[in-house]
Structure formats: structure tokens, C-alpha cells
Amino acid sequence: MAPFDQTFHAAPPTHMAQGGLLRLDGVSFRYPGGHAAVDDVSLSLGPGILGLLGPNGAGKSTMMRMLATLTRPTAGRIIWNGVDIARHPDGLRVSLGYLPQDFGVYPALSAREFLRYLAAVKGLPQKLARHRVDACIEQVGLAGDADRRLGDFSGGMRQRVGIAQALLNDPQLLIADEPTVGLDPGERLRFRHLLTELGGQRLVILCTHIVSDVEASATSLAVMRKGKLVFSGSPDALLGRAHGKVWDWTVQPERLDEVRAAYHVSNSLRRADGVRVRLMSPVSPGQGAEAVMPSLEDAYVSLLADSEGN
């Protein structure tokens, strides 16, 4: 995997991150053949943690690349603190930290050497770069491993290095694209805690298809499906949409395929008395079904099911 190298130089930070205002007005991206990877998305965002959810192929990564000024929209505008980033990208680039989905490292370098290299790429003066590298290493919990070879790091430790490089210029906007894919449960939990700590006054956009990654930390949610924005709002608002639509129902094993064909089943568990299924339905699916409070995963599955016909 090739190391990630931002193609722009960010000016050195002059003050601590204070957040920013990001607005998307009818943003679309269409390939030359006409397929819309992102289709007419509008959002307004301020400081906090946005969980951008959607199944694979929803257009999330294309959206992240547009926000990171690596891809230009084919329609609409992305406005950062009042400035159109397609026309004037440098204002956002100075304020941006980006952890792409395919972040790579030089395995022969230590974490400290690698981060100093990237600080130079970002244009930080040497004295400031040394200070920021040490501060970011401490912030992501790698102080004791900073001089170890990156080739010896676990996946979770490499992701922490990825976050550290994204923080070098003390960004107002931090974007992490599918950051927990391939991590074990313990590493995933540590990564979520780290992102929660980073929320504060900056805008953090966490792009993922894993609902549990945003369940405990996101202050707002946006859900994409087939390039379109199908929900934006608070986690509580999404939960409210699923109220009364989630059921636990015990069925006999021979009926399981039938139930899965008729309903959106989010979970199933074999027990002595049958198979306990958790499913989405606006009305009771049958005798013995119990209405239950939805989880965020339930609400997400229900939303995607409701949007299938759109």
C-alpha cells in the first residue's frame, strides 16, 4: 500500500482549532457515462461529530474526496466559512485534516520519523513541526511507541498514526473515511474514544457503514443511499422514525427463510424454543411478536428499507 501523501501544502497553524461552518448546496458528482455517485446533496454543518452512514456504494467516499478538495463536484457548491472551495480551495486546505480509507505508511520509518516527513510535506516550519509531531503523538496515545518501526505496528496503531498526521496542522475540519475497517474490537473501541475526544470545537466527519462506530459519539447523522441523502438530523430523530417498527419474534427454524423474505431482519438467534428474530415492520408480523425499543442499528436498517422504493 502506498503511503498517503496530501497533494497540497497547508500553512502552519497560528491558533488552536475553533471549528468552522461547512455548507453543501445541491452537490453532485457524475461520471462521464452519466452515473451519479453523489446526487443533489445539501447539508449545513458546524462543530461537532457528524456520522456519515451508508452501505457500500452509497457515494460516501466520493463525498469525502470532494470535501477534501481532491475531487471537484460536477454540480452544486461546497462552502467553507463562506468560501466556495472549488474556486478557492486553499482556505479549507489550511484547516483540513484527512484520513483516507487507504492510508498507508513507510514501514521502515518510525512513527516519529514518518510524521516529521508529513509535517514537512504539509509545509510546517521545522521548529513548529517538531512540536506538533510530539503533541500529536501524545494526543493519540503513542508516546511510548513513537520510535518503533511502523512495520511492527498493529492495524489500530497505524490508524492512530493516521489520525496523528491528520492533526498535524491543528485542523478545524477533520475527515476520517471508513477508519475502523479491518480493526479488531478492542482497537475499534479505542479509535472511537479518540474521535470522541477530538470532537470538541472542531468539525469531525466520520464516514462509515458500521453503525456502532457513530452510536456513542455522533452529535448528528447523515445517511446516504445510492448517491442520495436520505436522512440528516440527530441520532434521536433517526431513532424516533423507527419507533413502533421494531419487533422481536420467535419462529420455528423452518419458517426462517420465509420471514427473511417478507421482512427486513436485523438479527437472529437460535434458541431451544425456535429462532428469535429482530425485524422491521410497521405492524405486528404475527402472534407472539413483541414491540421493542429500536437501537440505532434498527433505525438505520428501517430507514434503508423505507428508502428502497425511492
Asked if residue 299 is part of any domain, the answer here is no
- Is pLDDT larger for residue 291 or for residue 105? 291
Asked if residue 306 is part of any domain, the answer here is no
Asked if residue 17 is part of any domain, the answer here is no
What is the C-alpha to C-alpha distance for residues 224 and 213, in angstroms, rounded to an integer?
A: 16
Q: Are residues 72 and 202 located together in one domain of the fold?
A: yes
> Whose CA is closest to 166, among 206, 193, 210?
206
Distances (CA, A) of 71 to 31, 173, 204, 234, 285: 12, 17, 19, 28, 46
Q: What is the pLDDT of residue 309?
A: 59
Given a contact cutoff of 8 angstroms between Cβ atoms, the answer to whether 222 and 258 are in contact is no
Chain segment 283-306, per-residue pLDDT in tens: 999 999 999 999 999 999 889 888
The rounded radius of gyration (Å) of the Cα atoms in the chain is 22
Q: Are residues 179 and 260 located together in one domain of the fold?
A: no
Given a contact cutoff of 8 angstroms between Cβ atoms, the answer to whether 162 and 98 are in contact is no
- Is pLDDT larger for residue 189 or for residue 79? 79
Asked if residue 127 is part of any domain, the answer here is yes
Chain segment 216-241, per-residue pLDDT in tens: 789 999 999 999 999 999 999 999 99
For residue 67, count CB atoms less than 10 angstroms from its CB and return exposed for 0-12, middle for 13-18, buried for 19 or more. buried
Q: Is the pLDDT of residue 52 over 60?
A: yes
Q: Are residues 127 and 168 located together in one domain of the fold?
A: yes
Residue with cell 445510492: 226
Q: Are residues 196 and 177 located together in one domain of the fold?
A: yes
Q: Are residues 108 and 175 located together in one domain of the fold?
A: yes
Q: Are residues 106 and 188 located together in one domain of the fold?
A: yes
Residue with cell 404475527: 286
Q: Are residues 169 and 272 located together in one domain of the fold?
A: no
Considering 215, 239, 263, which residue would you say is the last residue of a domain? 239
Question: DSSP labels for 258-289?
Answer: HHHHHSEEEEEEEETTEEEEEEE-SS--STT-
Chain segment 124-144, per-residue pLDDT in tens: 898 999 999 999 999 888 999
3-state secondary structure of 54: coil
Given a contact cutoff of 8 angstroms between Cβ atoms, the answer to whether 81 and 171 are in contact is no
Asked if residue 10 is part of any domain, the answer here is no
* Identity of the amino acid at 15: H
Q: What is the pLDDT of residue 13?
A: 40
Q: Is the pLDDT of residue 262 over 50?
A: yes
Q: Are residues 76 and 143 located together in one domain of the fold?
A: yes
**Structural domain total, the chain:** 2
Chain segment 29-51, per-residue pLDDT in tens: 999 988 999 999 999 999 999 99
Q: Are residues 235 and 106 located together in one domain of the fold?
A: yes
C-alpha cell belonging to residue 65:
474526496
> With pLDDT > 90 as the criterion, what percentage of the chain qualifies?
65
Asked if residue 196 is part of any domain, the answer here is yes
Q: Compute the mean pLDDT over every residue in the chain, rounded to the nearest whole number.
A: 88
Q: pTM for this one?
A: 0.84
Q: What is the pLDDT of residue 19?
A: 57
3-state secondary structure of 220: strand
**Any idea what the CATH number is for the domain that residue 66 is in?**
3.40.50.300
Give the residue numbers spanning the domain of 132: 22-239
* Identity of the amino acid at 211: V
Q: What is the pLDDT of residue 14?
A: 38
Considering 239, 263, 280, which residue would you say is the last residue of a domain? 239
What is the C-alpha to C-alpha distance for residues 100 and 81, in angstroms, rounded to an integer?
A: 23
Q: Are residues 83 and 161 located together in one domain of the fold?
A: yes
What is the C-alpha to C-alpha distance for residues 256 and 125, in angstroms, rounded to an integer?
A: 63
Q: Are residues 137 and 280 located together in one domain of the fold?
A: no
Residue with cell 428469535: 276
Q: Are residues 184 and 219 located together in one domain of the fold?
A: yes
Residue 251 φ then ψ, to 5°: -125, 160
What is the C-alpha to C-alpha distance for residues 53 and 229, in angstroms, rounded to an integer?
A: 10
Asked if residue 5 is part of any domain, the answer here is no
Q: What is the pLDDT of residue 8?
A: 32
Given a contact cutoff of 8 angstroms between Cβ atoms, the answer to whether 142 and 164 are in contact is yes
Q: Is the pLDDT of residue 257 over 50?
A: yes
Considering 239, 254, 282, which residue would you say is the last residue of a domain? 239
Q: What is the pLDDT of residue 122?
A: 86
Asked if residue 265 is part of any domain, the answer here is yes
- Mean pLDDT along residues 76-81: 96
Q: What is the pLDDT of residue 191?
A: 79
- Could you tell me the pLDDT band of residue 182, with boundaries at 50, 70 and 90? confident
